[in-house]
Amino acid sequence: MKYIDEYRDGRLARDIARQIGAIADPARSYHLMEFCGGHTHAISRYGLEDLLPANVRMIHGPGCPVCVLPVGRIDAAIALAMRPEITLCIYGDLMRVPGSNGSSLLKAKAAGADIRMVYSTLDALKVAEAEPDRLVVFFAIGFETTTPPTALALKGAIAKGLGNFSIFCNHVVTPAAIQNILKSPDVSKLGTIKIDGFIGPSHVSTVIGTQPYEFFAEEFRKPMVVAGFEPLDVLQAILMLVRQLNAGRHEVENQYIRAVTALGNEKAQAEVADVFELRESFEWRGLGEVPHGALRLRPHYAAYDAERRFSMVTPAAKDNPACECGAILRGVKKPADCNLFGTVCTPDTPMGSCMVSSEGACAARWTYGRFREEPRQVDPGRAVA
């Protein structure tokens, strides 16, 4: 891939950090939420917080699709997988997400469930095609980025006449979550935190564009900058947000112009709209019930909807009461604030989904930041990128 090293240039990173330090008003604080887990990992991996002035604070958001999946949906998938006629195809990072009572899909597989890790929706289709006697269910998760491939997989199953293929749909919707963070009283039960602006998700925005965020910027007077995942992308987005806040503006700006447009990928949007419709409500871990926060298959495709086909029930289930994953996803707490972090909760023995996924805030902290001293250093010339 071209143009990677250019976006990891330490000299340029320090230069942008100096610009941020020069314009950041020492009389105020800047609380910026990076919505996407990819941004969280970039910030941790490259030590970007060490480059920022102390009054520019980064807040981790709920932008990890594995992390926001509630326990009940994991329990429902485990119950489905334990049926002898079912083959459940999943992405690998779902394997170790804790269900209730210490359960997980990995433990279900060890107990005999036919659970197979796949790299794409097409891999799940290949399983259904190769084994027509098995009822193959694809555990579909993700934001708008991974929804189009699921839609195409369903149409591929129809074209191939694969009546043994179905989808357990857990695709969630980003704009609804942003509105929930800013507005819902249910979220405030976990505690409130000041948010001055957002670093918008990049891969999501390649599909939906930047226009869907304009309502939130105007309605809640919060600026957003859609940014790429490289360290210079993130730093430039922070600089753009600080400039907006200093000027009293609340606009949607696009830093990731090499991949994102205002309208997004209209072909992908059309495929999604044909296959999916909004749910009235869907539970997000950390955010509670989010109105119109997820998708389901349209009634026309009911024969391929695992929830309808197998009469699936999502049981009421709660997180480990000692796990702070919900508050971390909300941005109220950081991973180090959880008493389980680094003790009983590690990547080998995760107590919550935030430690499992490669996009989880706890996994990022464990991998890149658990030995970092607090409070952070603020000299932009000190850190390396």
Does any domain span residue 165? yes
Do 345 and 215 fall into the same domain?
Answer: no
Q: Are strands 224-226 and 252-254 parallel, antiparallel or unpaired?
A: parallel
Do 193 and 335 fall into the same domain?
Answer: no
Instruction: Note whether 287 and 137 are within 8 A (CB).
Output: no
Which domain range does residue 359 map to?
325-366
Do 277 and 342 fall into the same domain?
Answer: no
Angle 375-361-99 from CA coordinates, rounded to 5°? 135
Q: What is the pLDDT of residues 40-57, one digit of tens each?
A: 999 999 999 999 999 999
Do 307 and 329 fall into the same domain?
Answer: no
Do 246 and 337 fall into the same domain?
Answer: no
- Asked whether residue 383 carries a pLDDT value surpassing 50, the answer given is no
Does any domain span residue 373? no
The stretch 74-95 carries a mean pLDDT of: 96
Q: Among 264, 299, 319, which residue terminates a domain?
A: 319
pLDDT category of residue 377 using cuts at 50, 70 and 90: very low
Does any domain span residue 124? yes
Do 346 and 248 fall into the same domain?
Answer: no
The alpha carbon of 63 is separated from its chain's Cα centroid by a whole number of angstroms, namely: 3
Q: What is the pLDDT of residues 128-166, one digit of tens each?
A: 999 999 999 999 999 999 999 999 999 999 999 999 999
Give the integer Cα–Cα distance in Å for 249 and 244. Answer: 5
Do 168 and 295 fall into the same domain?
Answer: yes
Do 292 and 336 fall into the same domain?
Answer: no
Does any domain span residue 251? yes
CATH of the domain at 286: 3.40.50.11740
For 57, which DSSP code?
E
3-state secondary structure (DSSP) of residue 60? strand
* Structural domains in the chain (count): 2
